[in-house]
Structure 1
Amino acid sequence: MSTSSLLLALLGDARLPAGGHTQSAGLEPALRAGTTSAEVPAYLRARLHTVTLVEAGTAVVARAVAAGGGDLAEVEAAWAARTPSQALRANGRRLGRGYLRVLQALWPGPPDARARGWSRPVVLGLLAHRADMAASDLARLVGYDDVQTVTAALLKLEPQDPLLIAAWVKDLLPDIDEMAAQVAHLHTPEQIPARGAPLIERWAETHETTKERLFSA
């Protein structure tokens, strides 16, 4: 199947049964910590330069390694080394299992017993390889999914005018493209960016033990 805007729309659809409805991409703990709804665009830009950049870079490298017949466990290890928060690593692997179901249903291939322990970006990289998705489109997908996850969660956590939220997403599209351009050329695990986000990581650890919450992360 060739890459198309419709394929991007399919994989970026929040209704995709991959567990996205359980996520706020860190927004719920950020709001609990005092972030205001007006600061959400700034929060998203910070994520695009840190957490999301690492995820997009990992996905692009996983795609390249899968295409070359390499070992995706090496990409998983590189992602884990760049994700200090245990809570974020555990959540990434839960999401990976959700996307693995999508991969097996829509683009089945030879099974790998280790795949259930792989993170979302690694599974997405394998999916992109099997679906013949370009590296730049894959990176854009990761960036857009992160933005729409946060903004969709905001509508549930602190309801806003949906058109205002849509305007925020539109304004962030150039930032997504810029982020994607930074990683689209990567091919090896060593090239995956290492960008820390200490507050996001700390909030994720706190959220992991919060009893009353709407989202798992």
Structure 2
Amino acid sequence: MSTSPLLLALLGDARLPSGGHTQSAGLEPALRAGTTPAEVPAYLRSRLRTVTLVEAGTAVVARAVAADGGDLAGVEAAWAARTPSAALRANGRRLGRGYLRVLQALRPGPVDDRARTWSRPVVLGLLAHRTGMDPADVARLVGYDDAQTVTSALLKLEPQDPLAVAVWLSELLPDIEEMAGRVAALRRPEQIPAHGAPLVERWAETHDTTTERLFRA
């Protein structure tokens, strides 16, 4: 049975208490490095083709491995190998702990003792399995969550017309659909895409040691 659209809406809501409100999806350091608000739509598409694609692929594979009763540690290792930045890995695992709380609240059940060290996409994959989420839906969720994190952060960092920002997000939806289609059939860790984003990674490392900042990452 497919996941209820209302549950998908809940999981994609920026108000979900998962720690997402502490994130800008790299936008804060990008703005500090000279990215302008007008370039944010291009920034969103760049993330969608790189770091977001890796995370969506990881979540889809984690869902498949969990459904088969396999060891998610291998999926976590594959994600880490495709995430060169130590700052991004640490942040992904902090978010993973937040989503683990969401998982245990919405779909309680036994989890591996190592689950507190798993990244957000791996925990989302487990949540997708427990809720009966389609592979494409978990990929859509990852893509939408990343984009709305950026746009929500922009309204705090460089206030814009909220409706204009909503239009940017709406215009990105076909790209999210295309990305979800690319990863929906993945089932093994070695199939997870490996697309780096050197600037995003460098900005994340710089931001990790910045003391005056609004967002953690």
TM-score, normalised to structure 1, is 0.99
Secondary structure of 2:98 counterpart? helix
| Equivalence map 1:65-80=2 (5 Å) | 65-80=65-80
Partner of 2:136: 136
How far has the Cα of 1:112 moved from its partner?
A: 1.5
| Equivalence map 1:1-217=2 (5 Å) | 2-217=2-217
How far has the Cα of 1:141 moved from its partner?
A: 0.3
Q: How many residues align?
A: 217
Cα deviation per residue 1:89-139 (whole Å; 9 max; x = unaligned)?
000000000000000111011131100000000000000000000000000
How far has the Cα of 1:36 moved from its partner?
A: 0.1
Residue identity matched to 1:215: F
Tell me how far apart the structure 2 counterparts of residues 145 and 41 of structure 1 sit (CA, whole Å).
Answer: 15
Tell me how far apart the structure 1 counterparts of residues 111 and 74 of structure 2 sit (CA, whole Å).
Answer: 17
Tell me how far apart the structure 2 counterparts of residues 15 and 131 of structure 1 sit (CA, whole Å).
Answer: 20
Tell me how far apart the structure 2 counterparts of residues 4 and 141 of structure 1 sit (CA, whole Å).
Answer: 13
Cα deviation per residue 1:180-207 (whole Å; 9 max; x = unaligned)?
1100000000000000000000000000
In the alignment, structure 2 segments of 5+ residues that lack a partner are none
Tell me how far apart the structure 2 counterparts of residues 72 and 167 of structure 1 sit (CA, whole Å).
Answer: 37
Percent identical residues = 83
In the alignment, structure 1 segments of 5+ residues that lack a partner are none
Residue identity matched to 2:40: V
Residue identity matched to 2:67: A
Q: For the aligned residues, what is the CA RMSD?
A: 0.7
TM-score, normalised to structure 2, is 0.99
The answer on whether the counterparts of 2:2 and 2:134 sit within 8 Å (CA) in structure 1 is no
How far has the Cα of 1:5 moved from its partner?
A: 1.6
Residue identity matched to 2:101: R
Tell me how far apart the structure 2 counterparts of residues 141 and 80 of structure 1 sit (CA, whole Å).
Answer: 20
Runs of 4+ aligned residues of structure 1 deviating over 2 Å after TM superposition are none
Tell me how far apart the structure 2 counterparts of residues 96 and 111 of structure 1 sit (CA, whole Å).
Answer: 13
Cα deviation per residue 1:18-46 (whole Å; 9 max; x = unaligned)?
00000000000000000000000000000
How far has the Cα of 1:8 moved from its partner?
A: 1.1
The answer on whether the counterparts of 2:95 and 2:120 sit within 8 Å (CA) in structure 1 is yes
